[in-house]
Amino acid sequence: MDKLDQYRVFVQVAEMGSFIKAAHTLALPRASVSAAVQQLESQAGTRLLHRTTRRVHLTSDGSQLLERVRQLLADAEDIGGLFRASQHKVSGRLTVDVPSRIARRLIAPALPGLLRRHPRLLLTLGSTDRSIDLVQEGVDCAVRIGTLHDSSLAVRPLGHIALINCAAPSYLHEHGVPEKPEDLASGHWAVGYASPTTGRELPWEYLSEGGQEQTSRVASRVIVNNAESYIACCRAGGGLIQIPRFDVQYLLDSGELVEVMPAFRPAPMPVSLLYPHRRQRSNRLALFVEWFGDLIRPHLER
């Protein structure tokens, strides 16, 4: 293992806080990961990491080396890129994490085209509706919808996704068609959605005629915590939902769902790409950022 590879191993262990996790992410034996760090420590003449049974922590010398090594690896990646004829040379593993419905409705159908153009690219696609630690879980890039709170990550805003109110025809036949938020106070039900972060049921949201964001409570008889169940309950006639339009466009087209109260939609939600360490954007990551931006653009508010 050459010095650059040793540095890559060191960075992975330092960021993930675990030799085992780093070995899994790098697809290396744990012994090789441990040996690489030990060789670096021997050459540097100092301890770079504190090892415990539960966690690996940087020493002060390790922290100084980490910052320098990140810059060095980023520069090495940039230099390598000077001699690549085009993005057709993109290769290696890229790990991304996206909301489950984006994975299913947008990314999966478009993947064959991406992989035909870049046959040496290996994409590990995680699809969750929860917050994750990108560094701890070895994720190169994440797609997130909604307001962001983690300022330690590099963020690329992509735009805003339109949300709509909708229901099944069977529900509307039984309960009537609401025309304004006040109509929801009696005789109507919503499918409740529990926040993946807090577990609390989210309120009904809408923009008033003056463009102000408003919230209200709509009674619910079922509360779910993932998008698949949310849509399934709505299709079965269980109540009204608020959902990104792209998520249910095929159901609107087929007549299985109907948009209601178009004048009182929720505020559009921001969609962003997140990745750690702005200086360490590989050509694989740059390719995905560009590709996903093009993929989602038709579904953004104009």
What amino acid is encoded at 168 in this protein?
A
Same domain for 100 and 70:
no
Same domain for 278 and 129:
yes
pLDDT tier at 173, thresholds 50, 70, 90: very high
pLDDT tier at 66, thresholds 50, 70, 90: confident
- Asked which of 50-64, 80-94, 183-197, 219-233 is least confident by mean pLDDT, the reply is 80-94
pLDDT over 90 (residue 1): no
Same domain for 207 and 147:
no
Please state the domain count of the chain.
3
Same domain for 291 and 151:
yes
pLDDT value at residue 21? 84
Same domain for 111 and 45:
no
Where a domain ends, among 29, 47, 81? Answer: 81
Where a domain ends, among 81, 105, 138? Answer: 81
Higher pLDDT, 282 or 212: 212
Same domain for 113 and 189:
no
Residue 146, both tokens: 């909604």
Q: Which of 63-67, 233-237, 263-267, 275-279 has the highest mean pLDDT?
A: 233-237
pLDDT value at residue 128? 73
For the segment 123-172, what is each residue's pLDDT rounded down to a tens digit?
A: 999 887 667 777 777 788 889 888 776 556 788 889 999 999 999 999 99
Residues β-bridged to residue 94: 123
Where a domain ends, among 48, 81, 114? Answer: 81
Same domain for 17 and 34:
yes
Backbone angles phi, psi at 258, to 5 degrees: -130, 135
Backbone angles phi, psi at 149, to 5 degrees: -125, -15
Same domain for 253 and 230:
yes
pLDDT value at residue 78? 58
pLDDT value at residue 190? 96
Q: Mean of the pLDDT values across residues 281-291?
A: 85
The CATH number that applies at residue 224 is 3.40.190.10
pLDDT tier at 279, thresholds 50, 70, 90: very low
Q: Mean of the pLDDT values across residues 112-132?
A: 85
What amino acid is encoded at 198 in this protein?
T
Same domain for 76 and 35:
yes
What amino acid is encoded at 90 in this protein?
V
Same domain for 290 and 146:
yes
% of the chain beyond a pLDDT of 70: 90
Closest CA to 56 of 5, 93, 16, 90: 16
Residue for token digits 């087209």? 253
CA atoms of 143 and 125, how far apart (whole Å): 11
pLDDT value at residue 146? 81
Q: β-strands 258-260, 163-167: how paired?
A: antiparallel
Same domain for 258 and 211:
yes
For the segment 187-232, what is each residue's pLDDT rounded down to a tens digit?
A: 899 999 998 778 889 999 999 887 889 998 899 999 998 888 999 9
Q: Which of 86-90, 192-196, 260-264 has the highest mean pLDDT?
A: 260-264
Higher pLDDT, 191 or 34: 191
CA atoms of 269 and 166, how far apart (whole Å): 17
Q: Which domain holds residue 258?
A: 163-267
pLDDT over 70 (residue 277): no
pLDDT over 50 (residue 85): no
Same domain for 131 and 10:
no
Burial class (CB in 10 A: 0-12, 13-18, 19+), 14: buried
Residues β-bridged to residue 260: 165
The CATH number that applies at residue 28 is 1.10.10.10
DSSP state of 83: T
